[in-house]
Each structure stands twice: as C-alpha cells, then as structure tokens.
Amino acid sequence: MQSVIDLLKSHRSIRKFNNEAIAPELLTELLLAGQGAATSSFLQGATIIRITAKDTRKEIARLAGKQTYVETAAEFIVFCADLKRAGNYCAAYNKPFAGDFTEHFIIATVDVALMAQSLVAAAESVGLGICYIGGIRNNPHEVSKILGLPRGVYPVFGLCLGYPDQNPEVKPRLPLEVIVKQEVYNEVGDAAAIAQYDDRIREYYRSRTGGGHGVSWSEQVAELLSEKSRPHMKAFLAEQGFTFK
C-alpha cells in the first residue's frame, strides 16, 4: 500500500476522466474525510455544492474558461466560504454580526482550503484524480447566481473528481531550501537554486507538451504578477458582504 507521504508527493492534476461513476457511499466517505479537517475557532466556515445537472455543468465550464473537464468528471463540486450559516446565530443570541472583518474572511477561506485538501488526499488514496477549478472566479457573479449564493457566501474554487483516463508526470516543485528557512526569512542561495529549477521546469514543459513552450517557473510567475488578475474580485466580495474591516 502506498504511504500517505508518497501519496501526497505524487499529486497531479487530472483533466481527462473515464466514464466510471463514483459510488455514492464512497462520495459520502470522501466528504466526511474533508469535513474532518481542522477548522479555526470551530467556525466550520465551508459549504460544498454538488453539481450534477448537465446544463449547469456546461455553463459553469464556459464561465470558468471553457474547462470541459467540469462537464466530463464523474463529480463536480464547488467549495464556498460561508459566514452566513454561523452568522444566522448572531441574531438568535442577540449579538451584532461582525462577519465583515478581514479575519473572518481569512478564517472561512482557510477552512475551505483545508477541507478541500483533506478531501483530495482521501480521493487520491482510493485511485481517484482531481482538478481544482479556480476559473470559477473569472465570473463570480454569474456562478454565484447559478448556485444561489446569499450574502456572506462566496465561491472559492470548484473541484473535479473522477477516475483518471491519463497518467501525467508529477510537476516538479521548488527546491525545499528555497521555501524552508531557518529562524528568519532570507534569500541566501535562492537565485542559484531557482535557476537550476527553471531548467527542470523548461524540460518538464517541453516533454509534457511534445516540444511545446518550455517556459520556466520564474518566467511564468513574473508574467502572472505583472498583469491584473481578476480585478473584479474586490468589488464582488464587497457585494457579498466581505468588506475587509
């Protein structure tokens, strides 16, 4: 049996799935595994919405950037940060609702990430593949309307689940010495280590894409951070009640 450590180190995103369904009993176990993740202050600030309607999946796939695996995966679920559920009880106990503070937003969003990753680890341990769909934030208003999300809830990402119909290589991560520091933050030796890592990533992309773009990690992230990224999100979150006091 594969160890948990080896399992976590072998994660890949899967974008091609076969037609095998996930047994309802297994899906329930995966959801329970996700729910077992840590939750700050016991808020349990995550809500999952399972999407089975074909037309809905097709529309979300379009809104997420035409990611067709949203349609073809055995299961597609959307993880939402949810302050509404707990906030309902402020009134019940005659307390003011202060869920618009930045810290509460962070708590709920981290709850979502921890829950999702626990579910993913459980899914991969039984041979399932997954793909996170951050593209739902391309059009959060439309996605929220489809999902009927009230104020106090926002969609963080989607997740495709299914049995893999491909076997991609594991994408190399940054060298451990670049991301793990002793006592204080420093960048000693980072430039040389990242230069070597860039060579590995270029080769990974060339091999993976059959002689494709061969872009390095540093080039990718420089491009990412030099452009505006979903500038609509701040206004959208404010509309949903996340005003970052």
The confidence band for 12, taking pLDDT boundaries of 50, 70 and 90, is very high
- Residue ranges of the domains in the chain? 4-169+228-239, 176-214
- Per-residue confidence (pLDDT) for residue 16, from 0 to 100: 95
What is the tens place of the pLDDT at every residue in 158-199? 999 999 999 999 999 999 999 999 999 999 999 999 999 999
The DSSP code sequence of 151-201 is: TTEEEEEEEEEE-BS--PPPPPPPPHHHH--SSS---TTHHHHHHHHHHHH
CATH architecture, domain defined by 4-169+228-239: 3-Layer(aba) Sandwich (3.40)
Q: Tell me the pLDDT tens digit for each residue of 82-104.
A: 999 999 999 899 999 888 899 99
Model confidence at 245: pLDDT above 80:
yes
Q: How many percent of the chain have pLDDT more than 90? A: 91
| pTM for this prediction | 0.94
Name the 3-class secondary structure at 129.
Answer: strand
